Structure 1
Amino acid sequence: MKRIAATLAAVLCLAANSATATAINPSGGGDGSEFNMQQILDGITAGGVSRVNAFSDYMPDRHDALWTTGGCGTSSATMILEIAGNTSVNSFGIYDTSNVNNRAELFSGRAGAGTRVSFSFDRDLTLTVADYARKTFTDHRFDSNVFGFYFDNGAGIFYSDTARNADGFDHMVAYASQGGDVSLPGSPAYTPWLPNEYVLGFEDTYGGGDGDYNDMVLMVESVAPVPEPGTMLLLGCGFLGLAVYGKRRKNA
């Protein structure tokens, strides 16, 4: 039994360590000339101090690669801040996990703080996006309602799934709620930061740039992360081993 337990522990550790830690530069802009991620989170929080530690509370890389919509079927995204040098060409959206070329833009370079869009899938997986100009389009059809986020800097595209990035760099960090109230640009009232709401921060430069992840910061609502198949397979193998061992002991 000890050997089985040790094996399971090793599997669990391997699954946990499959998410490489992402180092976030605490100096905004690399030299302190910009707001860093902690200052941005504090800035939207009631009382000015977020319960989220920007440099340690981000989700593991493997846990923020894939996402799905919430139970209501409609999700939204709100721009908090964009301070990259090429803000006029940056864009953000979601992509079909079975075909990264099938992308739906949510924010274009024109989007500013407080811009809000909503997106939803119907039963045949046609994607509807309502943008900040109150326009809608339904010309995207995904293979499932599991998707990833992408960031396009005009010269290259980076994905929430690090394995798809040509430079092998993690270009997105995600923060889950730790409680407390927040107020996003364009919304003067403070409301609770709910469990199905996540703040995303992007690094827009190939190879990682200054690593401050403040080039575009936004909140997505009514979404949930989807564990990657590899992580689930490791866990499944571990628990299957315990089940087989338990059955053998019972039949002995």
Structure 2
Amino acid sequence: MRRTMILAAFAAILTLTTAPAMAIMYPTAPVTFGPGTAGEGSLQDVLNSITVAPTAGVSSVNTATDAIRDDLDSYWSISGSSQSAATMIIELSAWKDQTSFGVFDMFNPLSRVEIFSGADAPGIANGGLKNLVIDADGKVYVNYVLQGTFVGNAFGYYITTPQQNTWYSDTDLNADEFDHMLVYQGKNIDSVQIAGLSKGLWTNNEFILAFEDQWGGGDGDWQDLVLMVESVVPVPVPGAVLLGVLGLGAAGMRLRKRQS
């Protein structure tokens, strides 16, 4: 019965949120960055460093103003290709060898599938390029190896740190109530080159995910893990519909906000 209700909720969500299926530019919101760590480049520096055209070293994406709104970046689905590539760009964290990245089931956040382990690093030879597939039965594959089963093609992203803190793309799930993931959409302007791979246009079908790994935001630099995903679209969940169908009640609703 519960699975039926969950599937009904999922169908309702997709019915009421058809806009993400279109090639659109998603609304953005400003971000307040912290001081960062001495000797490390900023997130803007990271985006500039992978930009090779039209102006080498200068990204058209402004990290302070162009992050997708927090209420739109919590959950995602794979689009028509039925598979999504994840390409690691950089890790600027003392915990980089111990931090993992993956996806979690929108309807069961404890159901998680790891994509990158702490041992992975940018570059094909280092495990920095992986493929994610979710089939019609919700089976989740990484590099075509079955790793778990979700309710369907709706998921969020997460990182887990060596302190066993798991930071979710859905800010409401984070114990510190901090938004640990920023998302930037390509503008069909810049050509980028990542970790020795061939250069190409950063399209609006591709998104850069930028994570802050410290409790409460730490140094507020959001460049502890930076990667690009493609062939995914945001699934902005109508909270009232989701809570109503699942019978969770209005008590679970609260305003989400981006912490500064």
Selected match of 1:35 from 35, 41, 46: 41
Selected match of 2:133 from 98, 120, 126: 120
Counterpart residue number, 2:172: 163
> Normalization by structure 1: what TM-score?
0.78
Structure 1 residue 93: Cα displacement: 0.2
Which aligned pairs between 1:136-155 and structure 2 lie closer than 5 A? Answer: 136-155=144-163
Q: Which runs of 5+ in 2 are unaligned?
A: 1-27, 243-260
Aligned-residue CA RMSD in angstroms? 1.8
Structure 1 residue 83: Cα displacement: 1.4
Counterpart residue number, 1:186: 196
Q: Percent identity?
A: 40
Q: Which runs of 5+ in 1 are unaligned?
A: 1-18, 131-135, 234-252
Question: Greater share of helix residues, 1 or 2?
Answer: 1
Per-residue deviation, residues 117-151 of structure 1 (Å, max 9, x unmatched): 00111121111111xxxxx4313110010100001
Per-residue deviation, residues 177-216 of structure 1 (Å, max 9, x unmatched): 12211111130x3211111100011000111100100100
User: How far apart, CA to CA, are the structure 2 residues paired with 1:211 and 1:226?
Assistant: 26
User: How far apart, CA to CA, are the structure 2 residues paired with 1:45 and 1:139?
Assistant: 34
Counterpart residue number, 2:208: 199
Counterpart residue number, 2:50: 44
Q: Say if 1:120 and 1:129, in contact at 8 Å, map to a contact too.
A: yes
User: How far apart, CA to CA, are the structure 2 residues paired with 1:171 and 1:145?
Assistant: 23
Change (3 A) 1:171 1:164: same
Counterpart residue number, 2:104: 95
Counterpart residue number, 2:72: 63
Q: Say if 1:69 and 1:223, in contact at 8 Å, map to a contact too.
A: yes
Counterpart residue number, 1:210: 219
Q: Say if 2:209 and 2:227, in contact at 8 Å, map to a contact too.
A: yes
Structure 1 residue 37: Cα displacement: 0.6
Matched residue SS, 2:216: helix
Change (3 A) 1:228 1:24: farther
Structure 1 residue 21: Cα displacement: 5.3
2:40 maps to amino acid: E
Counterpart residue number, 1:107: 116
Aligned length: 206
Counterpart residue number, 1:11: none
Q: Say if 2:31 and 2:63, in contact at 8 Å, map to a contact too.
A: no
Matched residue SS, 2:158: strand
Q: Say if 1:21 and 1:61, in contact at 8 Å, map to a contact too.
A: no
1:45 maps to amino acid: T
Per-residue deviation, residues 24-80 of structure 1 (Å, max 9, x unmatched): 23x442x4x201011100000011110000111111111111111011100010110
> Normalization by structure 2: what TM-score?
0.75
2:65 maps to amino acid: S
Confirm or deny that 1:219 pairs with 2:236.
Answer: no
User: How far apart, CA to CA, are the structure 2 residues paired with 1:143 and 1:207?
Assistant: 30
Q: Say if 1:22 and 1:61, in contact at 8 Å, map to a contact too.
A: no
Q: Say if 2:99 and 2:118, in contact at 8 Å, map to a contact too.
A: yes
Structure 1 residue 87: Cα displacement: 1.2
1:138 maps to amino acid: L
Counterpart residue number, 2:25: none
2:47 maps to amino acid: L
Change (3 A) 1:121 1:171: same
User: How far apart, CA to CA, are the structure 2 residues paired with 1:125 and 1:220?
Assistant: 19
